[in-house]
Amino acid sequence: MLSARIRDFINDESGAYTVWSLVWFSLYVAIGGLAVDMTDGYRTQSLLQSTADASVLAAVMSLPDENDGRQQAVNFSKDNMLQNDHGTVVRSSEVVFGTWTISPASFQPGGVEPNAAMVTARRADANENPLATNFLRIIGLVEWDVNAIAIATRFYPDCLLAGNALIAGNRVDITSNNVLANICIHGENLREDPAHDYAVEIQNNGTIYEDTQISMPDEDMMIDRPTICSNQGLCEPGVVTEGNLMPAEALAIGTLIGGMLDETSEDYLQGDLYGVDGDGNTLFPPYNYIDLQNCAACVALPDADGIPTTTDFEYIQVMQPNNVYVFSCNDPMDVLVLPDPLLQPVLQDVAVISECRINGQSNSVLEGVTLASSAIGGGAKGYEKAVIKFPSNVTFGADDNCAPGGNVGLYAAATVQIAAGASIDGLRIVAGGDVQLNANETADDLNVIAGHNIYFTANADIGTGCVGNAEGPLVYRYRLVH
């Protein structure tokens, strides 16, 4: 028989709560440890994702130089997650270039001309930097792996590849009685202007065909006049949409004009200036460098009193096809006037790059021509100064039913102004300031990108003839797709 003391010990239930407390304490520690370590894991995963996002954008922006892209991605990862704290989160081997397709959405590594990159950022055994746990090590989980993947691509906006486009950094103003077809119109409304707080205005009695797309960051940024629906087709569903589209070409106008001065590049001037020899090699056009104030082929134009100026000069010789003319000037507000159409009926396959303003003449015909002016006016709104200017009844582009070649490119650091009655059959305008197109214009294959405003006055007909091909240099856009 059990002794009384042993029997009392067996029957004694005092202290049970201590045992249960130990059990529950261990459980609470485990749950609390899981919460703390999971929070740390999610925080690290979020940090890895932002690092992967920044790194992959740096990589894809370096294309086509993949080696530089890998280095840029690694550098950005080190800036975002310091090695002393996180180790190496992105290795160059984890930066992969390839091709992104939209439909179906997929990334394929490799390819002849990659348009995308994929970056994997890790805190993992594979990179010798796993994320250490704090409390879960009590139950034997000392560390774990955390990864993040990002994919980015470069692209040209569909709007720019459309047959006709009007893209403004601030607003697009279109007045009355215009016919719009095969055109993309976008205003970004970048500049704060309480008196003109809108992105797109289309006034009265126009015709908007169903293949017209109008966009802006917010639909409320389009002026809603009582007569807006007098524009046939404008109030149909899906014509006006929301979206963002920066005028990247206009913002990069200095780079574009600078690129035109590279005598060994084919990326900036109209393709009509280049030839091909019998072996298939590119024949680059010769560059002619001219000081406007000491130009033997120029004549000084008279002022209002008939006295020759020292600022305005007309080029009085034929500009030879497949040549580039580069003009230096004493002052950006000096003026170079292109040859009289009586002397040169068709200005063809020529590039004119000028430090000062460029003026055309009435009834001129331009085909396969690039004109570029790096001039900017004085003052806070120097971009409003017209630095490429054409009077009435000028023909831009070859009348070839929008066939490749024969197009004209106008590139201005400030504003481009074209007077009434122009005929446009292939014209690309990139301006850091405004673009002003006046009444009675007929246009096919018209592509306009302005850093500020686009003004299009009445009785224009755009895009009803043929669909063009947007010739001229474009600037890539970049976006995360995963």
pLDDT score recorded for residue 324: 97
The structure's pTM equals 0.86
User: Which residue reads 């929070």 in tokens?
Assistant: 39
Beta carbons within 8 Å of 288's beta carbon, 6+ residues apart: 323, 324, 325, 326
C-alpha angle with apex 434: 433 to 439, nearest 5 degrees?
165
Beta carbons within 8 Å of 384's beta carbon, 6+ residues apart: 377, 414, 415, 433, 434, 452
- Round to whole Å and give the CA distance between 206 and 177: 4
pLDDT score recorded for residue 198: 87
- Round to whole Å and give the CA distance between 440 and 436: 13
Token duo for residue 193: 């202007």
- Round to whole Å and give the CA distance between 415 and 376: 8
pLDDT score recorded for residue 220: 85
Q: In tens digits, what is the pLDDT along the chain, a chain of 482 residues?
A: 556 666 666 666 665 556 566 666 666 666 666 677 778 778 989 999 999 999 999 999 999 999 999 999 999 999 999 999 999 999 999 999 999 999 899 999 998 999 999 999 999 999 999 988 877 676 777 788 999 999 999 999 988 887 799 999 999 999 889 999 999 999 999 887 766 788 999 988 889 988 899 999 998 888 777 778 888 888 888 888 999 999 999 999 999 999 999 999 999 999 899 999 889 899 999 999 999 999 999 999 998 889 999 999 999 999 999 999 999 999 999 999 999 999 999 999 999 999 999 999 999 999 999 999 999 988 878 888 999 999 999 999 998 888 888 999 999 999 999 999 999 999 999 999 999 998 778 889 999 999 999 998 888 889 888 877 768 889 999 999 99
- Round to whole Å and give the CA distance between 76 and 52: 9
pLDDT score recorded for residue 153: 97
Token duo for residue 455: 């003004």
Beta partners for residue 63, in sequence order:
none
Token duo for residue 11: 């029957």
Radius of gyration for the chain, computed over Cα atoms and rounded to the nearest angstrom = 32
Query: Contact at 8 Å (CB) between 316 and 298?
Result: yes
pLDDT score recorded for residue 338: 98
Residue spans of the domains in the chain: they are 14-155, 159-475
- Round to whole Å and give the CA distance between 416 and 428: 11
User: Which residue reads 């299009």 in tokens?
Assistant: 456
